[in-house]
């Protein structure tokens, strides 16, 4: 580590660990080579701190980011069965825009693809165009701390009941009939053949039902927690923060409190009103996404608020700078996106799927 400088955001914090240039060694070629020569050390640091951020190096292109991450993780993946719209970056094979959602839309904290049987082991982000206005942070949260801070009685309920994730997809994008629809199922699975979708669902432990008008309902019952695959630490590991309509209005309200921008308070009221309309006329189980207890009963608003309080208490807000690259332990550290205005380009890559420890135990 004598070729670089290691430090934290501020005294008393440990997320993320920053790696910065030393003695003017800030070229893309230097850090790409350095990552390859120190990947085992980096694995130890990611395991210890949860995330490692490279700052101050001249990473200007998606292909440079891709080369750097392949030095660390030679076998990246481009299979993406999440809900956020993404575009592949020209000239790369494993680099995508982080999200094509509108700038005003926040993305709550989540472990990438935690609703699947095998989420990526690690996820990587890079800033190619930094935001200049307020917001735009890719926020981080240690879900080990979230697990520890959740009220023991609430934890026990989730331990006993687990969680059920419900997702509904149309064949086409239907944001005007249901704003929770972000992608159609042919985009999720890169095919419009139902038999291929069914085969994938069976392999990934997902219950599926074909609905009228070519709708697809996916239901995953999963453990609410996971043991970290290497440390054994207990981790809050589910998509409640993202796949529950309580969270959308609550997220906008918390953003308003933090940033003091009245438009987010208005969006919070609008989201709450829209939630009521959807719940009355569509029903929570027929919205684009929903989370309930594993037995199908609703999770009370008080529990949702408590989980949100704990999550926000542990969130880290770090402003992007051009060339930043971050490596994240996707089995411990969640990420999200604050809304923003103006230009911003964050790209993402991820590692191969890794079967959840709870499912490994069942299959052994």
For residues 31-42, give the mean pLDDT: 96
Per residue in 233-253, pLDDT (tens digit) is 999 999 999 998 777 788 888
pLDDT tier at 55 (50, 70, 90 boundaries)? very high
Output the DSSP codes for 30-69.
Answer: HHHHHHHHTHHHHHHHHHHHSEEEE-SS---SHHHHHHHH
Find the domain containing 223 and state its range.
145-310
Which segment, 35-44, 82-91, 256-265, is predicted with the most confidence on average?
35-44
Do 304 and 188 belong together in one domain? yes
With a cut of 90, say whether residue 271 has pLDDT above it.
no
Do 305 and 317 belong together in one domain? no
Return the minimum-mean-pLDDT range out of 159-173, 186-200, 275-289.
Answer: 275-289
Do 186 and 325 belong together in one domain? no
For residues 177-191, give the mean pLDDT: 75
Q: Tokens representing 74?
A: 């030679």
Tokens 């923003």 correspond to what residue?
A: 340
Percentage of the chain lying above the pLDDT 90 cut:
63
With a cut of 90, say whether residue 114 has pLDDT above it.
yes
pLDDT tier at 286 (50, 70, 90 boundaries)? confident
Do 181 and 276 belong together in one domain? yes
pLDDT tier at 173 (50, 70, 90 boundaries)? low
Residue 52 has a pLDDT of 98
With a cut of 80, say whether residue 178 has pLDDT above it.
no
Instruction: Report the number of distinct structural domains present in the chain.
Output: 2
Do 149 and 297 belong together in one domain? yes
Q: What is the mean pLDDT of the chain?
A: 90
Please provide residue 194's backbone torsions phi and psi, each rounded to the nearest 5 degrees: -60, -35
Nearest Cα to Cα of residue 334 among 306, 320, 348, 315: 315
For residues 77-91, give the mean pLDDT: 87
Residue 324 has a pLDDT of 98
Instruction: Please list, in sequence order, all residues whose beta carbon lies within 8 angstroms of the beta carbon of residue 199, skipping any fewer than 6 positions away.
Output: none
Do 136 and 204 belong together in one domain? no
Residue 255 has a pLDDT of 87
pLDDT tier at 182 (50, 70, 90 boundaries)? low
Residue 244 has a pLDDT of 86
Do 355 and 213 belong together in one domain? no
Nearest Cα to Cα of residue 7 among 75, 103, 15, 17: 17
Do 167 and 73 belong together in one domain? no
pTM of the complete model: 0.92
pLDDT tier at 272 (50, 70, 90 boundaries)? confident
Do 104 and 237 belong together in one domain? no
Do 150 and 294 belong together in one domain? yes
Check which CATH number belongs to the domain holding 78 and give it.
3.60.130.10
């Amino acid at each position: 580590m004598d070729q670089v400088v290691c430090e934290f955001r501020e005294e008393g914090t440990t997320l993320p660990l920053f790696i910065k240039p030393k003695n003017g060694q800030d070229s893309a070629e230097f850090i790409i080579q350095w990552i390859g020569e120190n990947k085992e050390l980096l694995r130890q640091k990611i395991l210890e701190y949860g995330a490692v951020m490279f700052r101050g190096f001249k990473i200007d292109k998606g292909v440079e980011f891709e080369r750097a991450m392949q030095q660390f993780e030679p076998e990246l993946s481009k299979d993406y069965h999440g809900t956020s719209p993404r575009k592949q970056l020209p000239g790369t094979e494993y680099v995508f825009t982080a999200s094509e959602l509108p700038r005003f839309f926040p993305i709550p904290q989540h472990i990438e693809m935690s609703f699947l049987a095998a989420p990526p082991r690690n996820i990587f982000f890079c800033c190619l165009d930094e935001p200049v206005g307020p917001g735009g942070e890719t926020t981080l949260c240690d879900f080990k701390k979230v697990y520890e801070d959740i009220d023991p009685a609430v934890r026990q309920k989730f331990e006993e009941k687990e969680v059920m994730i419900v997702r509904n997809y149309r064949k086409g994008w239907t944001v005007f009939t249901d704003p929770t629809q972000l992608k159609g199922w042919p985009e999720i699975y890169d095919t419009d053949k139902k038999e291929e979708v069914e085969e994938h669902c069976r392999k990934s432990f997902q219950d599926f039902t074909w609905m009228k008008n070519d709708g697809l309902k996916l239901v995953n019952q999963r453990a609410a927690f996971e043991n970290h695959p290497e440390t054994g630490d207990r981790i809050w590991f589910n998509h409640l923060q993202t796949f529950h309509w309580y969270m959308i209005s609550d997220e906008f309200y918390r953003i308003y409190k933090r940033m003091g921008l009245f438009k987010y308070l208005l969006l919070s009221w609008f989201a709450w009103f829209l939630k009521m309309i959807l719940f009355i006329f569509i029903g929570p189980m027929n919205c684009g996404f929903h989370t309930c207890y594993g037995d199908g009963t609703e999770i009370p608003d008080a529990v949702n608020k408590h989980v949100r309080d704990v999550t926000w208490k542990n969130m880290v807000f770090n402003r992007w700078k051009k060339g930043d690259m971050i490596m994240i332990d996707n089995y411990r550290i969640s990420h999200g996106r604050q809304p923003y205005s103006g230009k911003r380009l964050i790209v993402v890559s991820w590692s191969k799927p890794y079967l959840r420890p709870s499912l490994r135990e069942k299959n052994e």
